[in-house]
A and B are shown apart, each in its own frame.
Chain A
């Protein structure tokens, strides 16, 4: 009954370093999302994947890349970290479509707190 699992939970990077945030869901959801949360700004969408094999930019994609490895896994990569990327990152998944499956809301992971120094 894990839901959405994110690793790592905490990370400190130096400016210019790279890293990949991992996310996996066990609910057989089609859609997966990466958000960042900053004080006073709510959650902003970085990238999303509507289904396996597809990815699209969200509201704030600059400085990030993603990979939908399979239906379960959706990773977020920072190629060259910057202090402006200090944030809490949340992965989420959802079942989308029409009719009875129409958007029952997202299931969120517990987050990755990233600090770039």
Chain B
């Protein structure tokens, strides 16, 4: 199974500031997909952003963007202009092309200070 590592158990950010969450993964595949999921206290798993490994351009969804470094096997998430509603646990996930399964990191808890 692929290994996904999130080295930051917790991160804190001031409202309106920017926070970056790190994610690294281990794979020998060349074609795969990466995801960031958000889990607020309600426990829902909400897709934040996705990245196809064959695309060089970093994905962006409103205030959320990624820095995808394929050679370094790194997939960080940047949250800009942080809002109180961004407080949640964030999971990085990996899926190999042609495989049904997702491999998840352990998660990073983001706290937003008012």
B is a partner of A = no
